[in-house]
Amino acid sequence: MNTVTDISDNAFFGCSNLTYAPIPNSVTRIGTSSFEGCTSLIDGRIPQAVTSIGTRAFYGCSSLTDVSFNRFSVANDGSGCTILGFECFKNTTAINYQNYNCLFNIYTYGGYSADVLRSGLYKDYSETDPNVQPTEYFGAGFDNSAVDYATSGSCFNEDTKILCFNPETNEEYYAPIQNLNKGDLIKTYLHGYRKVDVMCKGKLRNNTKFFTTCMYKMCKTETNDLTEDLIVVGGHALLVDKLSEEEYLRTCSIWGTPLRIDKKYLLLAGITDKFERIEGDSVFTYYHFCVENDGNDETRYGIWANGTLVETPCKKDILEFRNVVYM
């Protein structure tokens, strides 16, 4: 019996009753439009032997929720990764709007860049230069907003110390963020001690191309109030009394106008020289949480992390985070 090494072009085109992709472990190539329009296809498990997936191979597989690559590689140059053809996963709406974890695994552990996963015109919302035009990508075709959710992170690196309050001893203390639990009391700026309401964590593969996909470090010095170095995602903000002219212009290029919490300006870690960018593509575990808010889910607070005043997300935002595990 001949060993099957190729799923030919258009092999299962339009098979609306197909629920899983019959791809033998011996297959090395999945052809052009081979599963295009298979609207009932749920499982697209890709064997380790596969080295290329053709143009539009899974185009329009709207029920596809799981694409499992056994050929994952973490090589910086992408060697060992399966070649993804143009728009091979275009209009796979179930992945794009239901299973962000699938995209996260492809990106974080598969060695693929976000650029390879995209297609069409895209301008990263974290871009600080308003004159930069959208880039056109000719990638795998995943929805750009879904790729953003899968590749971006939020808030604090593991082991960040958060200022808390112990009502039994009537004392404040710093606790590692991963040790916090729902109901723990957090000291807030101007709003007393408030209980942790929602707590979650996620993983981020460091990507220095955009500050929202990169970790930044603020080093403890004799002139700042840090108790130890602070590491956060670039889209997380300090709360400060004023912005420099450059910080003001960069902030306006992102939000249109500076934002405030309790009359303090939000200063994003990724746009200020108070932080230095962390290089490399290591995978970080990050945590974020919100505190009880008196019934307004859009309220945000200031808290202390490693001795300095920073923001917390509002409950509305934290419940919209997709690629996280709630604790």
What DSSP character marks residue 79? T
Task: Give the CA angle between residues 135, 138, 140 to the nearest 5°.
Answer: 125
Beta strand spans in 188-252 (E) = 193-205, 215-218, 230-233, 237-240
| DSSP H or E segment with residue 302 | strand 302-305
Output the pLDDT for position 73: 46
* Residue 71, pLDDT score: 58
User: What is residue 70's predicted lDDT score, i.e. its pLDDT?
Assistant: 63
The 10s digit of each residue's pLDDT in 71-128 is: 554 444 445 678 899 999 999 988 887 777 788 888 877 778 888 899 888 877 655 6
Q: Which of 52-56, 253-257, 275-279 shows the lowest mean pLDDT across its residues?
A: 253-257
SS3 238: strand
Cα–Cα distances (Å) from 51 to 12, 38, 84, 85, 150, in that order, read 19, 22, 9, 11, 23
For the chain, domains (ranges, CATH) are: 1-151 (3.80.10), 156-326 (2.170.16.10)
Name residues whose C-beta falls within 8 Å of residue 267's C-beta, 6 or more positions apart in sequence.
Answer: 237, 238, 239, 240, 243, 247, 251, 274
pTM for this predicted structure = 0.77
> What average pLDDT does this structure show over 202-225?
90
Residue 75's pLDDT is 42
Pairing relation of β-strands 264-268 and 276-277?
A: unpaired
Q: Does pLDDT of 129 surpass 80?
A: no
What mean pLDDT value characterizes the chain? 88
Please determine, for residue 141, whether its predicted confidence score (pLDDT) is greater than 90: yes
